Amino acid sequence: MSRIEEALRQAGRKTPAASSGDHNESLDAFPAALPQGDVVAVAQRPGQPVAIHESAVMPSPMDFAAERLITHSNAQNVVVEQYRRLAGILHQAQVERGVKVVMLASAQAAEGKTLTAVNLALTLSESYKRRVLLIDADLRRPSVGKVFGLPPASGLSECLKSSELQALRITNVTDLLGLLLAGTADHDPMSGLTSGRMHEVVEQAAASFDWVIIDTPPVGLLTDAHLLSAMVDAAVLVIDAGTTQHDVVQRAIQSIGREKIVGVVLNRVERRALAEASQYKYYDDRKKGLRRFLGGRPIVASGPETAR
């Protein structure tokens, strides 16, 4: 039994689907949840509110997501390794250039961006033992809380609409991973996401965590994507390998700014091709062309699982 499942058991929550195969010891590093009710004050910058963490027992992932988390007992080794490779790319960028705040972007909806953001946050907190904050900034279709089975709660949306910068109320998934939920859905979120208040939220988060991962709305829905990308240190672009057209990807890259993109996740790759990718081979002409278009930036592949 992995530690994530043990945390669920101790909390009296239903665990994800039971494993039918051999247990993967590499996934056992998931820290146990903090005791319910603990409140922890974290570092702040001068003049800024203290960010308060509302600790919680480990939530039970939704059925559609449980088996797709890298912490699941049945997670495929090749998928886990691809996320570790992406985390390694970011770690190197942090060492060389001080990268800390990263946006996860996609050209259009339903390319697997949210699940990629969750698994990347888990990998950074697991493999590198860094304190990570995952912000759900996809205010049109908030999904991070759903992945973890959390009930609706106030979050980023309310913070952006407040007349004063509030202390960030963060739910701890583990002692190394926190979530800032989206809050109330907003069908016109751009004024808030590109505002000075959002910039203050990002600064406040960066002052308290080693990594800040931001799940953003699809770039195709952002009229001012470049304004949002200006608030982050780097971007990771998630692309559906089977459906996203090349010209749509090009427009997304131009909107974000090629210089901001540190890597690409090619999602829903066929399993056979994914196995080849684990050996760092190019598996089709499309990937070669995309790599050339990105100026040689690294591309990692994820499996064919469907995610939002």
Q: Which domain CATH number covers 107?
A: 3.40.50.300
> Does 51 fall in a domain?
yes
DSSP 259: G
Among 2-6, 16-20, 57-61, which range has the highest average pLDDT? Answer: 57-61
Q: Would you state the pLDDT for residue 232?
A: 97
111-162 per-position pLDDT tens digit: 889 999 999 999 999 889 999 999 999 998 999 998 888 888 889 999 998 8
pLDDT of residue 37 exceeding 60: no
Provide the pLDDT for residue 272: 52
Please check whether residue 307 lies inside any domain of the structure. Answer: no
Query: Mind listing the pLDDT tens digit for each residue in 82-97?
Result: 899 999 999 999 999 9
Classify residue 15: in a domain, yes or no.
yes
Kindly tell me if the per-residue pLDDT of 17 is higher than 70: no
Residue 188 has pLDDT above 70, yes or no: yes
Number of domains in the chain: 1
The DSSP call for residue 248 is H
Question: Quick one: pLDDT at residue 166?
Answer: 75
Q: Which residue stretches of 77-224 are H helix?
A: 77-97, 113-127, 144-147, 156-161, 190-193, 196-208
282: containing domain? 3-301
Calpha distance 294→239 (Å, rounded) = 13
State if pTM tops 0.85: no
Q: Is residue 224 part of a domain?
A: yes
pLDDT of residue 242: 73
Q: Using DSSP bridges, classify how beta strands 39-41 and 52-55 pair: parallel, antiparallel or unpaired.
A: antiparallel
- Tell me the backbone φ, ψ of residue 86, rounded to 5 degrees: -65, -45
User: Is 308 within a domain?
Assistant: no
Which residues are registered as beta bridge partners of 234?
102
| Residue 296: both structure tokens together | 């040689």
